[in-house]
Amino acid sequence: MANLYIGLISGTSMDGIDAVVARFDESGAKLHATLSHPYPSPLRTDLVHAVSNPSDCSVDEIGLLDGWVGECFRDAALAVMEEAGVSADGIEAIGSHGQTIRHQPDAVRPFSMQIGDPSIIAQGTGVATVADFRRADIAAGGQGAPLTPPFHRWLFGTTGKNRVVLNIGGIANVTILGAGDAAVTGFDTGPGNTLLDRWTAKHRQEPFDRGGAWAAKGTVVEELLEKLLSFDYFERQPPKSTGLEDFNLEWLTDRDVLDYEPRDVQATLCELTAQTIADDIKRYAPETRELFVCGGGAHNAELLRRLARNLPETVVETTAVAGLDPDWVEAAAFAWLAMRRMKNQPGNLPSVTGASRKVMLGAIHSP
Ligand SMILES: Nc1ncnc2c1ncn2[C@@H]1O[C@H](COP(=O)(O)OP(=O)(O)O)[C@@H](O)[C@H]1O
Ligand SMILES: [Mg+2]
């Protein structure tokens, strides 16, 4: 069975590595195996610490984490190959996004750092591994993010439909697929699950608010919502991208959230997330009639309910209606980007990232 690619990603939620074995042809994307490979809990703790306290993270620590994350990605690749019943000979390449520990696209010397040593993955699996997808786009003047819109366009960009694809990971990003010839755009709207997760972890000792049930019990605090909405990122014009550097517990405590009932804060954060996404869609894609949601946030019923309420003229569905399970869209995108790289085809969309030109994304690490 030829033409199989593996996609690996751990997003900003750091809830674990998503792994897929996928094949792409004229009829779309077919997933041959999928799995979610958790990080060992001490590694996750160290990663969260490194991301939250960058100035307190030594080169030695980053080196150690790079290797440790690489081993986990290798193991995720081996596990998904076993699940699919294929050996290294049957896989064309692995596309490994790695784990972002820092994303600074607007710095004087911009960079975006993903760790998870690709040589460990290539040598441990025997499969060529494409990694470091963001650097070339940044070198060409782009944000290095988001990178999934070209895949969204390829898969969901049926002409004649005003569609938006919304990925709700730790951060939320949209891909605007206008009808006709309008250039595809896409950008990070701001928080996805991250504020909801952090607030839930702080008050309920659980990693996330299942189904948004806790948020659904609270009442939105309007004055707090106004304060949160006045953050300048929400006013910025695309291209723009963000990360946990901008949206974290400190961001919340700086805005006096501790003054309110925790579950009302959760309801407010849920509304903030829904409203910032909906406002951007209304501003930059007012003709949108179909919204396809993917990422873990697709399981948050309260968030989807608030989204639909803020977008009365849009049908809110998950990517499942268009044939791809919302849990695996991002991992499939990196398998697809690896395919592009192996075929020496460009992977970025300058209309999305702001890069000066199309470039090939990622470096190939031979086994
Ligand atoms: N059943 C659920 N109910 C509510 N939220 C969920 C559920 N399942 C997953 N999530 C949310 O999705 C997040 C993981 O989403 P994911 O797309 O993997 O994000 P990332 O790309 O940042 O890793 C979790 O941290 C959680 O907030
Ligand atoms: Mg994840």
pLDDT digits (tens, 9 = 90+) for 272-290: 999 999 999 999 999 999 9
Burial letters for 188-207: b for 16+ Cβ neighbours within 10 Å, e otherwise?
bbbbbbbbbbbbbeeeeeee
172 three-class SS: strand
Q: What residue owns the CA closest to ligand 1's atom 8?
A: 296
- CA–CA distance, 193 with 273 (Å, rounded to integer): 8
Quote the pLDDT of residue 1: 52
Q: What residue owns the CA closest to ligand 1's atom 5?
A: 300
Centre a 10 Å sphere on the Cβ of residue 284 and count the other Cβ atoms it contains. 18
Q: What residue owns the CA closest to ligand 1's atom 23?
A: 11
Query: Could you tell me which residues come within 8 angstroms of residue 112 by beta carbon, excluding any fewer than 6 positions away?
Result: 100, 102, 103, 104, 105, 134, 135, 138, 144, 145
pTM for this structure? 0.95
For each of the chain's 367 residues, which pLDDT tens digit applies? Answer: 579 999 999 998 898 999 999 999 988 999 999 999 999 999 999 998 998 888 889 999 999 999 999 999 999 999 999 999 999 999 999 999 999 999 999 999 999 999 999 999 999 999 999 999 999 999 999 999 999 999 999 999 876 788 999 999 999 999 999 877 678 899 999 999 999 999 999 999 999 999 999 999 999 999 999 999 999 999 999 999 999 889 999 999 999 999 999 999 999 999 999 999 999 999 999 999 999 999 999 999 999 999 999 999 999 999 999 999 999 999 999 999 999 999 999 999 999 999 999 999 999 999 9
Using a 6 Å cutoff on CB, does residue 13 contact ligand 1? yes
Instruction: State which of 10, 13, 188 you would mutate to test the pocket of ligand 1, scoring each by most atoms of that ligand within 8 A of its C-beta.
Output: 13
Nearest ligand (C-alpha, residue 100):
1
- CA–CA distance, 12 with 2 (Å, rounded to integer): 32
Atom of ligand 1 nearest to the CA of 212: 4
Cα 304 to ligand 1 centre (Å) = 13
Of residues 101, 170, 183, 169, the one with CA closest to residue 134: 101
Six-digit token string for 228: 């949160």
Six-digit token string for 108: 């004087």
Nearest ligand (C-alpha, residue 294):
1
Contact 155, 29 (CB under 8 A): yes
Using a 6 Å cutoff on CB, does residue 327 contact ligand 1? no
User: How much of the chain, in percent, has pLDDT values that exceed 90?
Assistant: 91
Strand partners, 131: 363
Quote the pLDDT of residue 344: 98
Nearest ligand (C-alpha, residue 304):
1
Using a 6 Å cutoff on CB, does residue 243 contact ligand 1? no
Question: Side chain identity at 190, as an amino acid letter?
Answer: G
